[in-house]
């Protein structure tokens, strides 16, 4: 019904992935597997809704607190995540990272600590550093092909007097880890014990491949917390802007909304983002399920190809996200030499693992959100580059 193998030329659309690849990689015209957006057109139901809204022609100021938007979000959480919410706790923002950054300011002071699992999404470090807070890393550990958080180490970090916030990434970018209920319960109890507030970034919630379901933080929460997410990753609409979340504590929610509307002058949402979210959450399930199947096959393709070329890698597809977090340490190759071969020789852009912190050394992150024909070129490029530097 939906053809994800169709190649759409994104050149010349001011897209970060293709048109601005030189900004990160120093060279233009690379085949990019970088930041997390996909090369697919969004769902037809979203395009239809956007076209209809554009045909109306008037694009004046708007409001997100309307029954259609609130109802669509509640519907999605109920249908896809088995979660009922009080829509009175919903908040809106221009992007997930804007919302994270604002709550960091609201819930901590300059010099305070924000605990996070590392490796971590690079924008987390920027939001923490940019607000003059201190990142307090707790390294995830890889055992038996799975990622684990040592809860004693997490508790030690949360117990530090300067720790005010746990910035959770659930599911986790870049490892793809899906947190279990037991892990979430333990983290909730530890945060409560040490008076640490939780911000849970759940933007990858719809892209889970493991049997184990994603559990929204609202289902395990205690104390003071926020959950932020968006349809932007799942439906590939991040440049429309638009994100939403739950802040349960009324004072925190009011402070958030007052800053958004007053200090930051963002009282009107992007109306096309609202339109897209409503269409996605009310009508987009079939498209998303087809996309998920395609992406899962893409990840399997990466596993088959890499493990065939380098059996010692034994790379397994992640539990979640369309981002392949590939541990190359068994091959003992130099990260810089590999990047050089990828860029200069193979003409592909694949994220070096240390973008996500020191724990990412020896890894690469390859975005599999693209037609298979492109992915094949990227994986071949990676295999050739590895061979040339070994």
Ligand X SMILES: Cc1ncc(COP(=O)(O)O)c(C=O)c1O
Q: How far apart are CA 372 and CA 286, in angstroms?
A: 20
Q: How far apart are CA 35 and CA 168, in angstroms?
A: 20
Q: Any contact of residue 34 with ligand X (CB under 6 A)?
A: no
Task: Count residues binding ligand X (CB under 6 A).
Answer: 13
Q: Any contact of residue 302 with ligand X (CB under 6 A)?
A: no
Quick one: which of 17, 34, 42, 95 contacts ligand X (CB under 6 A)?
95
Q: Any contact of residue 234 with ligand X (CB under 6 A)?
A: no
Quick one: which of 43, 49, 90, 96 contacts ligand X (CB under 6 A)?
96
Instruction: Return the structure tokens found at 212.
Output: 């184990």
Quick one: which of 30, 31, 154, 169 contacts ligand X (CB under 6 A)?
169
Q: Any contact of residue 158 with ligand X (CB under 6 A)?
A: no
113 neighbors 164 (Cβ within 8 angstroms): yes
Q: Which residue has the tokens 């030499």?
A: 337
Q: Each residue of 242-262: b (16+ CB within 10 Å) or e?
A: bbbbbbbeeebbebbbeebee
Quick one: which of 17, 102, 118, 173 contacts ligand X (CB under 6 A)?
173
CA atoms within 13 A on the CB side of 165: 30
Q: What are phi and psi of 78, to 5 degrees?
A: -70, -45
User: Least separation, in Å, of the C-beta of 30 and ligand X?
Assistant: 19
Q: Any contact of residue 36 with ligand X (CB under 6 A)?
A: yes
Q: Any contact of residue 201 with ligand X (CB under 6 A)?
A: yes
- Closer CB to ligand X, residue 96 or residue 379? 96
225 neighbors 200 (Cβ within 8 angstroms): yes
Picking from 368, 382, 374, 306, the residue whose alpha carbon sits closest to that of residue 339 is: 382
Q: Any contact of residue 203 with ligand X (CB under 6 A)?
A: yes
User: Least separation, in Å, of the C-beta of 37 and ligand X?
Assistant: 8
- Closer CB to ligand X, residue 169 or residue 313? 169
The site for ligand X (CB under 6 A) is made up of 36, 95-97, 121, 169, 173, 201, 203, 230, 232, 238, 243
């Amino acid at each position: 019904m939906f053809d994800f193998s169709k190649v759409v030329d994104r050149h010349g659309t001011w897209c970060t992935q293709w048109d601005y690849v030189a900004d990160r990689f120093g060279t233009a015209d690379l085949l990019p597997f970088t930041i997390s957006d996909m090369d697919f057109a969004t769902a037809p139901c979203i395009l239809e809704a956007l076209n209809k809204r554009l045909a109306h022609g008037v694009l004046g100021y708007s409001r997100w607190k309307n029954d259609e938007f609130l109802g669509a979000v509640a519907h999605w959480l109920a249908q896809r995540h088995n979660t009922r919410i009080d829509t009175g706790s919903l908040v809106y923002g221009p992007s997930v990272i804007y919302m994270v950054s604002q709550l960091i300011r609201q819930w901590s002071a300059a010099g305070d600590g924000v605990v996070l699992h590392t490796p971590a999404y690079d924008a987390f470090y920027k939001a923490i550093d940019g607000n003059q807070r201190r990142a307090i890393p707790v390294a995830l550990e890889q055992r038996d092909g799975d990622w684990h958080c040592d809860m004693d180490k997490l508790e030690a970090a949360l117990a530090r007097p300067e720790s005010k916030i746990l910035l959770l990434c659930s599911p986790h970018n870049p490892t793809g880890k899906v947190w279990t209920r037991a892990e979430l319960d333990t983290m909730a109890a530890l945060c409560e014990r040490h008076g640490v507030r939780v911000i849970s970034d759940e933007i990858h919630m719809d892209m889970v491949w493991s049997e184990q379901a994603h559990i929204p933080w609202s289902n395990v929460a205690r104390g003071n917390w926020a959950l932020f997410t968006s349809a932007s990753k799942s439906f590939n609409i991040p440049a429309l802007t638009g994100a939403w979340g739950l802040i349960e504590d009324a004072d925190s929610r009011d402070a958030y909304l007052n800053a958004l509307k007053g200090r930051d002058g963002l009282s009107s949402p992007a109306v096309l983002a609202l339109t897209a979210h409503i269409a996605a959450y009310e009508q987009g399930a079939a498209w998303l399920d087809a996309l998920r199947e395609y992406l899962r096959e893409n990840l399997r393709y990466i596993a088959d190809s890499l493990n065939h070329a380098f059996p010692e890698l034994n790379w397994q597809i992640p539990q979640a996200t369309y981002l392949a977090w590939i541990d190359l340490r068994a091959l003992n190759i130099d990260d810089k030499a590999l990047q050089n071969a990828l860029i200069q020789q193979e003409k592909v852009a694949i994220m070096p693992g240390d973008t996500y912190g020191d724990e990412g050394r020896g890894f690469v992150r390859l975005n599999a959100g693209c037609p298979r024909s492109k992915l094949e070129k990227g994986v071949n490029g990676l295999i050739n580059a590895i061979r040339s530097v070994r």
